[in-house]
């Protein structure tokens, strides 16, 4: 209930003005966001590299309402990829299809994603399409298929274990050779399309992870959940999948000690590093994931 309310709040323009306008909110959001600029995103990625972790840069923004905004965001990504190439960083990018104008003009979105994937291929890094709300799930899966059919091999997407359709998407996209990021899912979805009970979401995650480890292409297991990480480690060992044949992924600012422990144990660990000024919806989803984050945030606001 609280989670759903916070996720709905992430879509409110009025609340965005109240929260995002306050310096204290921004300071707290910086726990989860590297900063406003590409330089800050790259600096965070370099710091992670020094700890043995790779990165995926996310230029914050979503649900754009005109083509110009989408083109500006695309340029931010191609610039980021040029810099990644110049610096030789072990860092891919994560892109939201609605930031590339999916809801404005699907053809434009496909064109811009093509530019980003081409720029990524030039510097030899991977592009993951973030998975957003259920209204764009099928379109996102189809975009990956379309880009791959056009010869782009370094593109995949996230899949959400809370969606009932995901098991089939995992099989469908694995057949297309796509490297997938498996996460639980961060949006508010109805029971008709999504599992609502934690046990069901986790069981779906474990089953999809096992399928990816056995049949998928370089699985990217995105979770901070100790139990699911343990199950994935066991499944990989049982299936004889080497520690360099898949990776764990976590969010910037979340469970850094667990990240370090996995690196020490010889696992690959990639951190999702968001940067940019449009941090409000991303930040609200992070609050929704953990009630303690919300309590901390509300106390800080009260005390300013
Ligand atoms: C690299 C990466 C990429 C992602 N991409 C997408 C995407 O494309 N689409 C999408 O819908 N979702 C995405 N997510 C978010 C994901 O769907 C979950 O909402 C989020 O990861 C929390 O789920 P969990 O698996 O960590 O398990 P949970 O059960 O939520 O968390 C397990 C434990 O991790 C810690 N934790 C989790 N979240 C937080 C937090 N915000 N702050 C502090 N501690 C926390 C807590 O200790 C918690 O007990 C992504 C997550 C990661 C790690």
CA of 290 to the centre of ligand 1 (A): 9
Q: Model confidence at 4, in pLDDT bands (50, 70, 90)?
A: confident
Q: What is the pLDDT of residue 175?
A: 95
Residue ranges making up the domain that contains 144? 33-278
Whether residue 28 is contained in a domain is answered as: no
Residue of 32, 183, 269, 274 to mutate, ligand 1, most atoms within 8 A of C-beta: 183
> For residue 194, what is the domain's CATH number?
3.20.20.220
Q: What is the pLDDT of residue 250?
A: 98
The 10s digit of each residue's pLDDT in 177-190 is 999 999 999 999 99
Residue of 60, 202, 254, 292 to mutate, ligand 1, most atoms within 8 A of C-beta: 254
- Per annotation, catalytic residue among 83, 134, 148, 181: 181
CA 223 to ligand 1: nearest atom: 25
User: What is the residue-averaged pLDDT of the chain?
Assistant: 95
Judged against a pLDDT cut of 80, whether residue 76 lies above it is answered with yes
The total number of structural domains that make up the chain: 1
Whether residue 70 is contained in a domain is answered as: yes
pTM: predicted TM-score of the whole model, two decimal places: 0.96
Judged against a pLDDT cut of 90, whether residue 276 lies above it is answered with yes
Whether residue 17 is contained in a domain is answered as: no
119 lines ligand 1 (CB under 6 A): no
Whether residue 195 is contained in a domain is answered as: yes
Whether residue 216 is contained in a domain is answered as: yes
Whether residue 3 is contained in a domain is answered as: no
Whether residue 60 is contained in a domain is answered as: yes
Whether residue 12 is contained in a domain is answered as: no
HEC sequence for the chain:
CHHHHHHHHCCCHHHHHHHHCCHHHHHHHCCCCCCCCHHHHHHHHHHHHHCCCEEEEEECCCCCCCHHHHHHHHHHHHHHHHHHHHHCCCEEEEECHHHHCCCCCHHHHHHHHHHHHHHHHHHCCCEEECCCCHHHHHHHHHHHHHHHHCCCCCEEEEEECCECCHHHHHHHHHHCCCEEEEECCCCCCCCCCECCCHHHHHHHHHHHHHHHHHHCEEEEEECCCHHHHHHHHHHHHHHCCCCCCCEEEEECCCCHHHHHHHHHCCCCEEEEEEECCCCHHHHHHHHHHCHHHHHHHHHHHHCC
The 10s digit of each residue's pLDDT in 92-104 is 999 999 999 999 9
Two tokens at 104? 């404005």
Judged against a pLDDT cut of 70, whether residue 304 lies above it is answered with no
pLDDT, greater one: 297 or 64: 64
CA 205 to ligand 1: nearest atom: 25
- Per annotation, catalytic residue among 58, 83, 130, 268: 130
């Amino acid at each position: 209930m609280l989670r759903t309310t916070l996720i709905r709040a992430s879509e409110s323009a009025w609340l965005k003005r109240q929260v995002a306008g306050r310096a204290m909110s921004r300071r707290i959001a910086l726990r989860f966001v590297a900063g406003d600029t590409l330089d800050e995103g790259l600096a965070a990625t370099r710091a992670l590299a020094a700890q043995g972790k790779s990165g995926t840069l996310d230029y914050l923004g979503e649900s754009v309402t005109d083509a110009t905004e989408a083109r500006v965001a695309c340029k931010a990504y191609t610039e980021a990829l040029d810099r990644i190439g110049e610096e030789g960083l072990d860092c891919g990018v994560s892109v939201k299809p609605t930031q590339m104008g999916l809801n404005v003009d699907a053809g434009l979105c496909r064109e811009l994603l093509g530019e980003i994937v081409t720029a990524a291929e030039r510097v030899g890094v991977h592009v993951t399409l973030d998975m957003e709300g259920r209204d764009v799930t099928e379109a996102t899966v189809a975009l990956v298929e379309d880009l791959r059919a056009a010869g782009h091999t370094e593109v995949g997407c996230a899949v959400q274990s809370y969606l009932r359709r995901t098991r089939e998407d995992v099989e469908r996209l694995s057949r297309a050779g796509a490297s997938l990021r498996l996460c639980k899912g961060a949006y508010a979805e109805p029971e008709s399309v999504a599992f609502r009970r934690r046990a069901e979401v986790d069981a779906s995650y474990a089953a999809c992870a096992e399928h990816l480890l056995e049949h998928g292409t370089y699985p990217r297991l995105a979770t901070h959940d100790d139990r699911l990480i343990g199950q994935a480690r066991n499944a990989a060992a049982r299936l004889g999948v080497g520690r360099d044949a898949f990776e764990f992924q976590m969010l910037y600012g979340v469970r850094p000690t667990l990240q370090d422990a996995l690196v020490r144990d010889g696992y690959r660990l990639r951190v999702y590093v968001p940067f940019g000024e449009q941090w409000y919806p991303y930040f609200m989803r992070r609050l929704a994931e953990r009630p303690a984050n919300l309590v901390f945030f509300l106390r800080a606001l009260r005390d300013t």
